[in-house]
């Protein structure tokens, strides 16, 4: 089967004139505090379908862990290896759907919209009560967990403090464009100039953030917020995957004076390292993107450790 015929391949569906264009998410309903949207924040009502490998899904896994929403919002994981049938629940007890017993995530999409014919992506926020997808846009699911679900959370963690809201939104947008999605634009481009432009944006943004983090522990000071965690999911994949697989090869993250200890600081934050599976991350990227790694050989882990002390506690 050629790349062009593969129904669920990013590379097949999203390249135009050598550039990667991300598909807009289809389901955009919101859980609201009063439930006026038809979705009220009730414990046990919602379920997250995620892949540990995926940086977008990782945002929602992190928010659930950091907020202590494990009891209120259930979760299940898809197999990191995806073939042309899309994300799959392939192994009882490991990659299993305890809510609907689906074999493929596409079944959740078709149950919500029988006409759905775009790419089936993670994360998905599923409503047990109405038996449908509420939302499949990670930025929005993260924001809902951080705000609307706060009354159901075990920990009083503020990932989106009101006084920083505008600044967080603005920085999120730039981190998305140049880094979160920038690495994909580099990795999936089929045009040398488009690729080089994307790579230069990636490293310009990393350089800027490295400077920003010289005199503050986290992006906005003493506590990590949404922007830090949205950045984290890209940084933690950088040396093991993006540096090699997406050819973001100018520098390694471990060469950065501040970003590297900052990444270790976030990785060692309570509850976070348990959300990171380097095996699933590497298996997914190297063995699913046939167009850019046709042999499926998985690059070895770089010889560097996120367990070394970050030494950033002295910063404000
Ligand atoms: N805009 C979406 C993008 C999610 C996304 O692209 N997820 C990838 C995994 S990292 C996916 O599910 N891809 C499936 C495919 O392309 O077929 C979000 O942020 O929620």
Tokens of 114: 């029988």
Question: What are the tens digits of pLDDT across the range 269-298?
Answer: 999 999 999 999 999 999 999 999 999 999
Share of the chain above pLDDT 90, in %: 91
Structure tokens at 182: 């920038």
Structure tokens at 53: 């490998």
The closest residue, in CA terms, to atom 17 on ligand 1 is: 8
* Mean predicted confidence (pLDDT) in 119-134: 97
pLDDT tens, residue by residue, 7-18 = 334 444 445 578
Mutation choice for ligand 1 from 9, 55, 62, 121, CB with most ligand atoms inside 8 A = 121
Q: What angle do CA 175, 76, 114 make, to 5 degrees?
A: 85
Tokens of 38: 């038809």
Extract the tokens encoding 86. Answer: 């899309």
Asked if the 10-152 domain carries CATH number 2.40.30.60, the reply is no
Closest CA to 233 of 288, 272, 198, 284: 272
Cβ of 121 below 6 Å from ligand 1: yes
Closest atom, ligand 1, to C-alpha of 119: 17
Tell me what pLDDT residue 22 has. Answer: 81
pLDDT of amino acid 15:
52
Is residue 241 lining ligand 1, measured as CB closer than 6 Å?
no
Q: From ligand 1's centre to the CA of 121, what distance in Å?
A: 4
Neighbours of 315 (CB within 10 A): 18
What span, in angstroms and rounded, lies between the C-alpha atoms of 34 and 53?
A: 34
Q: Determine whether the shortest distance from the Cβ of 181 to ligand 1 is under 6 A.
A: no
The residue count of the chain comes to 316
CB 135, CB 27: distance < 8 Å: yes
Domain boundaries of the chain, sorted by first residue: 10-152, 162-268
Residue among 160, 251, 171, 156 at smallest CA distance from 219: 171
Q: Is 138 in the pocket of ligand 1 (CB under 6 A)?
A: yes
| 122 C-beta closer than 6 A to ligand 1 | yes
Segment 42-101, tens digit of pLDDT: 999 999 999 999 999 999 999 999 999 999 999 999 999 999 999 999 999 999 999 999
> Residue with the nearest Cα to atom 2 of ligand 1?
137
User: What's the pLDDT score for residue 23?
Assistant: 84
152 lines ligand 1 (CB under 6 A): no
- Fold classified for 162-268: Glutathione S-transferase Yfyf (Class Pi); Chain A, domain 2 (1.20.1050)
Write the pLDDT tens digit of every residue in 250-264. Answer: 999 999 999 999 999
- Check if the beta carbon of residue 146 is closer than 8 Å to that of residue 37: no
> What is the mean pLDDT of the segment spanning 20-34?
91
Question: Per-residue pLDDT for 5 more than 80?
Answer: no
Q: How many CB atoms lie within 10 A of CB 297?
A: 9
248 belongs to the catalytic site = no
pLDDT band at 24; cut points 50, 70, 90: confident
Measured in angstroms, how far is the CA atom of residue 132 from the centroid of ligand 1?
18
Tens digits of residue pLDDT in 170-221: 999 999 999 999 999 999 999 999 999 999 999 999 999 999 999 999 999 9
Percent of the chain residues topping a pLDDT of 70: 95
In angstroms, rounded to a whole number, what is the distance separating the alpha carbons of residues 37 and 30?
7
Q: Which of 184, 242, 262, 267 is catalytic?
A: 184
Residue reference for tokens 């202590």 = 68
Would the CB of 188 count as within 6 Å of ligand 1? Answer: no
Q: Is 27 near ligand 1, meaning CB less than 6 Å away?
A: no
Q: Give the pLDDT confidence score for residue 13 in this predicted structure.
A: 44
Work out the number of other CB atoms within 10 angstroms of the CB of residue 230. 26
pLDDT of residue 17: 75
Residue of the CA atom closest to atom 6 of ligand 1: 121
Reported as a pLDDT band with limits 50, 70 and 90, residue 143 is very high
3-state secondary structure the chain: CCHHHCCCCHHHHHEECCEECCCCCCCECCCCCCCCCCCCCCCCCEEEEECCCCHHHHHHHHHHHHHCCCCCEEEEECCCCCECCECECCECCCECCCCCCCCECHHHHHHHCCCCCCCCCCCEEEECCCCEEEECCHHHHHHHHHCCCHHHCCCCCCCCCHHHHHHHHHHHHHHHHHHHCHHHHHHHCCCHHHHHHHHHHHHHHHHHHHHHCCCCCECCECCCCHHHHHHHHHHCCHHHHHCCCCCCCCCCHHHCCCHHHHHHHHHCCCCCHHHCCHHHHHHHHHHHCCCCCCCCCCCCCCCCCCCCCCCCCCCC
Q: What is the mean pLDDT of residues 103-127?
A: 97
Q: Note the pTM of the prediction, 2 decimals.
A: 0.94
Angle made by CA atoms 254, 123, 244, in degrees to the nearest 5: 30
Mutational test site, ligand 1, from 85, 122, 229, max ligand atoms within 8 Å of CB: 122
* pLDDT band per the 50, 70, 90 thresholds, residue 34: very high
Pick the catalytic residue from 54, 195, 248, 256: 54
């Amino acid at each position: 089967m050629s790349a062009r015929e593969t129904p669920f391949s990013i590379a097949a569906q999203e390249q135009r004139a050598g550039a990667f264009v991300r598909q807009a998410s289809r389901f955009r309903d919101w859980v609201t505090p009063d439930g006026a949207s038809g979705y009220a924040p009730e414990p046990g009502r919602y379920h997250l379908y995620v892949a540990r490998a995926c940086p977008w899904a990782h945002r929602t896994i992190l928010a659930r862990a950091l907020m202590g929403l494990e009891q209120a919002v259930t979760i299940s994981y898809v197999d990191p290896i995806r073939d042309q049938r899309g994300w799959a629940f392939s192994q009882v007890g490991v990659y299993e759907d305890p809510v609907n017993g689906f074999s493929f995530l596409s079944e959740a999409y078709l149950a919500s919209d029988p006409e759905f014919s775009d790419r089936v992506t993670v994360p998905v926020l599923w409503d047990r009560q109405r038996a449908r997808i509420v939302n499949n846009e990670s930025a929005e699911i993260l924001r809902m967990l951080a705000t609307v679900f706060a009354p159901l959370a075990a920990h009083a963690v503020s990932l989106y403090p009101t006084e920083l809201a505008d600044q967080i939104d603005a920085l999120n947008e730039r981190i998305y464009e140049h880094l979160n999605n920038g690495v994909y634009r580099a990795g999936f481009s089929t045009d040398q100039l488009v690729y080089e432009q994307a790579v230069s944006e990636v490293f310009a943004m990393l350089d800027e953030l490295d400077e920003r983090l010289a005199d503050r522990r986290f992006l906005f000071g003493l506590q990590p917020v949404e922007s830090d965690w949205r950045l984290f999911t890209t940084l933690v994949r950088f040396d093991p995957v993006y540096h090699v697989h997406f050819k973001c090869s100018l520098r390694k993250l471990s060469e950065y004076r501040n970003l590297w200890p900052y990444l270790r600081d976030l990785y060692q934050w309570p509850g976070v390292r348990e959300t990171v599976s380097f095996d699933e991350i590497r298996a997914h990227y190297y063995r699913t993107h046939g167009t850019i790694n046709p042999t499926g050989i998985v690059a070895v882990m770089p010889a560097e450790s996120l367990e070394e002390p970050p030494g950033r506690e002295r910063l404000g």
